[in-house]
Structure 1
Amino acid sequence: MGDRSFGYSAQVRPFLWVFLVLTPAEIVLVELLVPWFWLRAVLLAFGALSAALLAWQLWMLYKFKHEIDDEYLWLRYAREFEYRIPLAAIETATHGMTSRSTNRTRSVVDDTLVLEISNSTNVLVNLNEPQEIDLGRRGAHEVTKIEFWTDSPDEMVRALRK
C-alpha cells in the first residue's frame, strides 16, 4: 500500500518482549508451585493465551506502520485504528516533542488529533483544510492539526515535505 513506512512502537516493544519472554517462566513456576491439577490447567490456559496475545500485538505493531504513498498519509495503531489523510491537505509538517497525557492512543484536543505513544508525540502536521476524524463511540470530529508519534520523526517530516 505505502511507498514509505514508519514504525511507531519502539517505546513499547521492549516491554512487550519482556512479558513475552517471562510468560514461559511463569508457566513453569505455576507448574512447580500449584498442587491442584485443575488450577494448573486453568493457569496454563491463561498463560498460553497471554503469550499468544502478546505475540499478536507485537506482530500487529510491526505489520501496521504509518505509511506515505503518492496520495495519502496513513496513520495507524496496530488494528485499532487507521486514518487516511490526503497529502494535498497537509500544509506543514514539523518535528517537536510534546506530551499531553490524554491516556488514550487517540483523542481530539482543541481541533487537534492526538495519536500518543507512551503519552508523547513528536510530529506535528498542520492541515490547510479540516479533515473529519471518526473516534468511534466518541464521535466524529473535524481537525486542523495532527500530532502523532513515529520512531523516525526527521525522516517522516522530510517525506511529508516532498
Structure 2
Amino acid sequence: MDEVSGGPVFLPRRRAVVLVVLGALFRVATRRVQARGGAPIPHSAGPQRTVFVFAGVEVATALLVARVIPPAWSVPHLVLEVVAVGVYVGLGFAWRTTPHELREDVLLIRTAVLGDLAVPLSAVAAVRVENRTSPGFGTRHVDDGTIACSVTSHTNVTITLDRPREFTFRKGEKREITQIRFNADEPADAVQEISKVLAHPR
C-alpha cells in the first residue's frame, strides 16, 4: 500500500452495503475469511452477538405475526422478514469474516461497512491495551490528536504514532493526529502481535 506510506489513510467502502452483506453470506457458506495475506485480528464480537439475537427475535416475532395477518399480506410480510433477517445475519457475518489485518508494513483496521483505516507500521511508535469509550462509530475524531475506528463506541487498543501525522477524513477535513483507537476481540493478543512486527521491521 504505497498510498499509506506517509501516515494513516481512510479507505472508503467501495461496494454498496447490500453487496457487502451478500459477500459476507457467501464467505460464510464457503468458509472463507477476507484477509489478503496478513494475520487476521478478529473484532466486534459483541455487536455480532447483538445482531444475531435481533435476527432470532425477528424470526420469533414473524412467526407470531404470520398467524394473525390476513392471507393477502402473507407474501409481502414474508419478503420483509426475509430481508430483515438477512440484513441482521449478513451484517454480523460481515464483521466476522472481515477481521483487521496485520501485514508486514501496514495494519488495516476494518469495519466491513463503515470504511477502513490503513496505518503504516513505520508511523507507529507504540501500541497498548486501553479500554475507552470513543463516542460514535466508523472512523471519527475523538478529541485533540486522537481518532478512532470501530463498529461501536467501545475501543480497547490504542496506537501512538511516532509524531503528529496529517489525516484526511471521509469528507475532506484534515487534522493532525497522534493516537488511533480501535477494537479487538482479544486486545492483549492484538497488541502482542503488532508489537512483534514493530520489533522486527522488514
Structure-1-length-normalised TM-score: 0.87
Q: How far did residue 138 of structure 1 move?
A: 6.4
Identify which of 112, 120, 134 aligns with 2:146: 112
Aligned AA (2:138): T
Q: Percent identity?
A: 22
Residue 30 (str. 1) matches residue 65 (str. 2): yes
Moved more, 107-116 or 61-70: 107-116
Q: How far did residue 158 of structure 1 move?
A: 1.0
Identify which of 86, 92, 112 aligns with 1:78: 112
Structure-1 separation of matches of 2:189 and 2:133? 21
Tell me what 2:26 maps to. Answer: none
Aligned AA (2:88): L
Structure-2 separation of matches of 1:132 and 1:2? 27
Aligned AA (2:195): R
Contact 2:95 2:111 (C-alpha < 8 Å) held by counterparts: yes
Segments of structure 2 that go 5 or more residues without pairing to the other structure are: 1-35, 197-202
Residue 6 (str. 1) matches residue 41 (str. 2): yes
Tell me what 1:126 maps to. Answer: 160
- What is the Cα-based RMSD across aligned positions, in Å? 1.9
Identify which of 71, 92, 96 aligns with 2:130: 96
Aligned AA (2:94): M
SS in 1 for 2:104: coil
Residue 157 (str. 1) matches residue 191 (str. 2): yes
Tell me what 1:16 maps to. Answer: 51
Structure-2 separation of matches of 1:132 and 1:21? 44
The C-alpha deviation readout for 1:27-72, integer Å capped at 9, x for no partner, is 221210112523x333222111101111210221012111111110
Structure-2 separation of matches of 1:8 and 1:59? 11
Structure-2-length-normalised TM-score: 0.71
Relative to structure 1, the CA distance from residue 2 to residue 125 in structure 2 (aligned partners, 3 Å threshold; closer, same or farther) is farther
Contact 1:83 1:133 (C-alpha < 8 Å) held by counterparts: no
Segments of structure 1 that go 5 or more residues without pairing to the other structure are: none
Contact 1:64 1:79 (C-alpha < 8 Å) held by counterparts: no
Structure-2 separation of matches of 1:132 and 1:79? 24
